[in-house]
Amino acid sequence: MTPAEIHAHFQLQRQASREHVDVPLLVRRERLLRIQKMLDEHGPVLAAAVQADFGMRSPLLTEVADFFVLRSLLSHTLRHLGRWMKPKKVSTPLVLQPATAWIARQPLGVVGVISPWNYPVQLALAPAITALAAGNRVMLKPSELTPHTSAQLAALVAQFFSPDEFCVVQGDANLAALFASLPFDHLVFTGSTAVGRKVAQAAAQNLTPTTLELGGKSPCIIDGHCDMKDAALKIAHGKLLNAGQTCIAPDYVLLPRGREGEFAQAYAAAVARLFPTIEGNGDYASIITARHHARLRTMLQQAQTQGAEVQTIDPAAGKPVVHTTGTLGDGVSRQMLPTLVFGATSAMQLMQEEIFGPILPVVSYERLDDAITHINAGPRPLALYWFGQSEAVRDDVLQRTVSGGVTVNDTLMHIAHDHLPFGGVGDSGWGAYHGEQGFLQFCHQKSVLVQSRWSMGSLLYPPYGPRMERIMALIRRLL
């Protein structure tokens, strides 16, 4: 779209949202059912577009990582939407009785969504679903790094929705900057912390509230008393899903000193179990672009030059390569082998930036206090993972660290819980969505007080004097 077309679409949605402030439950449900129908009828086309963008990412991976999450969200939202929409009654303090009060949950108006490339269907439609459920209009700007998926989303949304309900804007980073500068009633951005800062600055010019889901270096703490094989398998799954291109992927492991060899062996066995082959295996996604792949390789080379021990894991080493899925473009050449890095230091790039790839640094610690100090010395992470058996130690870790969310004795799973809000804290973002929390994020909670004809409020009117002193003394005793 041209800038003029983008502004025209925004004005169309803004006008519609102002003319139809109240959006009935029936209309909201029907909009969500259209998205459900779109996924049911055109899921294979979208999955093929994702594979074309990545070069190597099987439709089943997209089914698990994108469509499953969206279907669960739709089911949960449709089931609870009627209750979420109801005004919330609140009690009235004694000094204001017999007035009555409630909180009305109204649509904000027009919600903008800037979505990333790593889960290009899920992270585009999930906030859109919740915003539509809250009665809003939605404008979506998907990533330019997944052009096939973005084009399919644009075509399908145009097929199932009128432009004043939901539309897709395609374009590059310059267009994204223009998009972020529109005076939305709320703006959702998912992506890097660096870009998130720019989005927040652009939105601030219009006093547009934002939800920023950013990422960061999410740690895994392995306690001295845990099943190493089980922990390694779950860490490998969380790290290597989508080849590590996941905002809440384990970014590094904090491991009791002396157990490095045990972990390395267990992790290699876990990789072999999950991915018997890497090259040509559609279950193991490609790195999205050659530029991203080069960045990861540079990280490894720098770490190795500075003294780190790099262990590359190739479960098919010495075996004939069997391609389990057809290839597209140079996807196979961008399938990066899982890699462990021991001896990483804070001076290395891979310990300063979110990795977003299948590289896993392992940092050894002497005492749990050292691990917690290491975490608290950096920006607050989007996720934290702890593996162990002691509830006391678990609770100690939870109380002494701050992160967007936590999964204990597993990775990633807290994001799949529809009743848990999902979001970051500090550098990993602000605001949260999912379930009712997301619904409320995209609502204006309007306070309403209905005064009674028997109101005693006039007792507080001037002129003030001895009478008011007696009234205030009585109120102080009642409070």
Instruction: Show the DSSP H helices in 205-342 as ranges.
Output: 228-240, 260-274, 290-305
| Length of the chain in terms of residues written | 479
pLDDT exceeds 60 at position 329 = no
Domain spans, the chain: 3-214+431-444, 219-421
CATH number of 219-421: 3.40.309.10
Active-site hit among 165, 213, 260, 354 = 213
| 213 catalytic per annotation | yes
313 within 8 A of 268, measured Cβ to Cβ:
yes
Show the tokens assigned to 13: 């949605």
Instruction: Report H helices in 306-412.
Output: 368-376, 391-400
Residue with tokens 């209009």: 137
Which of 139, 138, 152, 144 lies closest to 116 in space, CA to CA?
144
pLDDT value of position 327: 42
- Residue 326 pLDDT greater than 50, yes or no: no
Confidence of residue 479 (pLDDT cuts 50, 70, 90): confident
Judged by DSSP in three states, 281 sits in coil
pTM, two decimals, is 0.93
Annotated active-site residue in 167, 220, 226, 247: 247
- Cite the beta strand spans of 357-433 per DSSP E: 359-365, 383-387, 405-408, 422-423, 429-430, 432-433
Please write the tens of the pLDDT for every residue from 12-68.
999 999 999 999 999 999 999 999 999 999 999 999 999 999 999 999 999 999 999
Q: What tokens appear for 319 in the block?
A: 């075996």
Instruction: Inform me whether the pLDDT recorded for 191 exceeds 50.
Output: yes
Mean residue pLDDT of the chain comes to 94
**What's domain 3-214+431-444's superfamily in CATH?**
Aldehyde Dehydrogenase; Chain A, domain 1 (3.40.605.10)
The predicted structure's pLDDT at residue 323: 42
Strand stretches in 40-193, DSSP E: 88-90, 100-107, 110-114, 137-141, 166-168, 186-190
Judge whether 247 counts as a catalytic residue: yes
pLDDT at 318: 57
Angstrom distance (rounded) from CA 54 to CA 290: 11
Residues forming a β-bridge with 387: 222
Contact 137, 12 (CB under 8 A): no
Q: How confident is the model at residue 325 (pLDDT cuts 50, 70, 90)?
A: very low
| Confidence at 119, pLDDT banded by 50, 70, 90 | very high
Strand arrangement, sheet containing 110-114? 166-168, 137-141, 110-114, 186-190, 210-213, 429-430
The stretch 113-126 carries a mean pLDDT of: 97
Give CA–CA dist 109/15, Å, rounded.
9
Torsion angles phi and psi, residue 254, rounded to 5: -100, 115
**pLDDT at residue number 460:** 84
Cβ density class 209-232: b for 16+ within 10 Å, e for less:
bbbbbbbbbbbbbbbbebebbebb
Split at pLDDT 50, 70, 90, the class of 330 is: low
Query: Which range has the worst mean pLDDT, 103-117, 145-159, 197-211, 324-338?
Result: 324-338
Comparing CA positions, the residue from 239, 218, 195 lying closest to residue 383 is 218
- Output Rg (C-alpha) for the chain, integer angstroms: 26
Judged by phi (left if over 0) then psi (alpha if -120 to 50, else beta), residue 425 lies in beta
Per-residue CA distances from 325 to 57, 59, 242, 359, 378 (Å): 9, 10, 16, 24, 41
Stretch 269-284: mean pLDDT: 95
